[in-house]
Structure 1
Amino acid sequence: MRDTLTVILAGGRGSRLEPLTRDRAKPAVPFGGLYRIIDFVLSNALNSGMRRMLLLTQYKAQSLDRHINLAWRNYFCRELGEFIDVVPPQQRIDNNWYQGTADAVYQNIYAIESEQPKDVVILAGDHIYKMNYKPMVEFHRKMGADITIGALRVSRDEAKQFGVMQVDLDNRLTGFQEKPSDPISTPDDPDVCLASMGIYVFNARFLFEQLCDDATRTDSDHDFGKNIIPAAIQDHAVYAFPFLDENRKRDAYWRDVGTIDAYYEANMDLVGVDPLLNLYDQHWPIRSFQPMLPPPKFVFGSEGNSSRRGEALDSLVCQGAILSGGSVARSIVGPNVRINSYAHVEDSILFEGVEVGRRCRLRRVIVDKGVRIPPETEIGYDPAADAARGFTVTDSGLVVIARGEQLESSQTPDIAHS
């Protein structure tokens, strides 16, 4: 894989994830307590033997850049030709922001060419899955392909949100439609379509030619799915490569956590007895930044007072968290979280540094980093009241409290128990 360069697209706004993306790029949003979304594609690449990476950023990239420096720099040795370089928009070619996925790569074509790769692997930085890219690159070379696309089987209803492919018996593409209203199903199952995962392997020289040609077209969106791939099918060797899931469960796991509800459901799956995503797999580890924090602590469990007990059931609790007489159920508790006496948190996600005051009640709430919930506060039980307080409330009733939110106590704390 030394002659392969990996380009990771991590510049999307993530507007459907607001307010979680109000101060950070979508790939930098925390996931599963310890991780960031970007950690999954980076772990896949590293586990696949890819050690030359360009991470293309754009919007609100400071948090993402800091995370890369803390979590990922030590895995690469520049003296051995290994690197992970965060590349903000250079505007070397024009003064515009990236106009599409293909334009993002085109505007960094000089940085890519300077590495002289044989093949370029292009990945999206905002999906949750486990995959070894090495067999895909080997397939690409064996078939003499110009482009190879990662392919996922999805339902016809889901396929409306993807690029949909049709292939022959050799997996060579015969058709491609970007987000069709009436997706074409596979020959073997009328209810299933073959969807593009946004994972591409390009012959480097072919990629440069296509990007330069596309950049001159005024009628192009400068996007791989909308323009580059459909134009290449007729005269070039474009193949699909079936998704090989390293998660090693019965059903393939791939998630686009692009909305608040999708993000919440993917996190909540992790607290199940047998979650679909296996984070405890030593065969395919997911790496991230591990801060130097003490173990989680649970206190006030031996007083005989059943209402004041630090406990967590069916939950993930990260290092540095203290459950000081408060209880948690079916939730994800991030690093350095404090849950005080008589508080109860259920079906919720608490980011790093959140403090939950005494006698609070939280249900189906996502609380962003560093927010302090005053004592006696109740959130997640009355959607209308939560919306009136300025919180984001989804159609399903999920409440999101943004980073930097200043909450006022709704009631006077019980002084006898303070």
Structure 2
Amino acid sequence: MICSSCRHPAQYSCNCTSKKSYMCSKHLGNHCKLNGKHEINQIGSKKKLFNSEMKVKLLNKIRSLKTQAKLDISKAISHVNDLFTKISGELKRANNYIKGFIKSCDDAIDYIKNLNDEIEEKEFYCPLESLLIMQRPEILDQIYGPKINLYAINNKTIECAISNFPHCIFQYTFNSIVFSSQNELACNNGITETKMHTDFNWVGRLLSVGKALAIYTGGDPASNSAYIINLELKSINSLSSMQQKRKWHAMTWIDGFPAVLGGYDGEEFLNVVEVYKNGNWERYPSLTSIKSSLSAISYYSKVYAIGGRFNVSPIKCLNSIEKYENGKWELLFVKISSNLTGPGLFASGIYIIIFGGYNENNKNVKDCDIFNDKLMKVWKADFELNEPLSFTSMNILTLEGKTYCYGDDENYFCQLVDLQFNF
């Protein structure tokens, strides 16, 4: 079937006239404007149409963010130029004074060197004479030069709080969700924290898949079970089982579908990846190496899997970054600064911020790395967490420009952390 308007393959048909009409998605809107009662039928597999108005709104929102960012950096440059002018003026005044003082020292040296080594005895001596004849030697201790005070800028003159874009369009950020204890689920929307007792275990993993929905996979012992949780209704329903039982894995989105990556099956570490498509779990290309306790993040058409563990006793962790793109995984040559499990991940602008984690010495860390996937570079950030934390859940909350995530401290105490990262 072909579209009656453009002769391209048709995706829709309509019985509004005596003769069935066919149209493509591009010309569906034009057809619906025609007079008549329209009963649109989809040809072939059903598809969801993007809402054209929402697409325009999203593009306009991103353009407005871009415009505002340009205005903000212009203000910052103007601010720095003003500061530079002020600092330059202060430096100029100090420099002129110090140069004059140095000249006065030279003048004094010449003057004193040319003095006679003796003077007539008299009733009163000037200070210089009193010093040189040792009548008042303490005068020497009264001589001080100028003191330049160099003030550290304790409060930054400029700082840039991180944006939640594009993180919030590739991961849901309505709630931060985590297991606050072995079986208790905690959910925080920035206003209230709700807790929900479950039969699940914290070694399984959670992925937010809607404003109030999350998928739970795995368990202890390692399981191929999967469930959908309604956080508002506090209801739980089963999904079809995964092909591979697992725990200590990662969850994110791959090609627009919920996905599980790696983990441990109770005997072996895994590189197996599955995605949830059309009610079933489907095998996807495997990671380049086996690992559990890794972290993963969806970023445009790519997915990054970072860190992980490949041995339990002794603990052996990874500092690797793997990238999924165009149907395959690639081990990148760049590495994070430490071998870690459970680092937090957040996409902000062109950067992926890697924060916290658990190292091979059984210690949480508070260091942060910055990964630029355009330049393929990783460097240590000049900011850090307020305390050492690791992150079993990548379900981050963003609210009014701020970013929050549940993290575990050294005693496995779970707390909601304000990620106050500033460039």
* TM beyond 0.5: no
Higher relative contact order (CA 8 A, sep 6+): 1
Larger Rg: 2
Which of the two has greater strand per residue? 2
TM-score (norm 1): 0.25
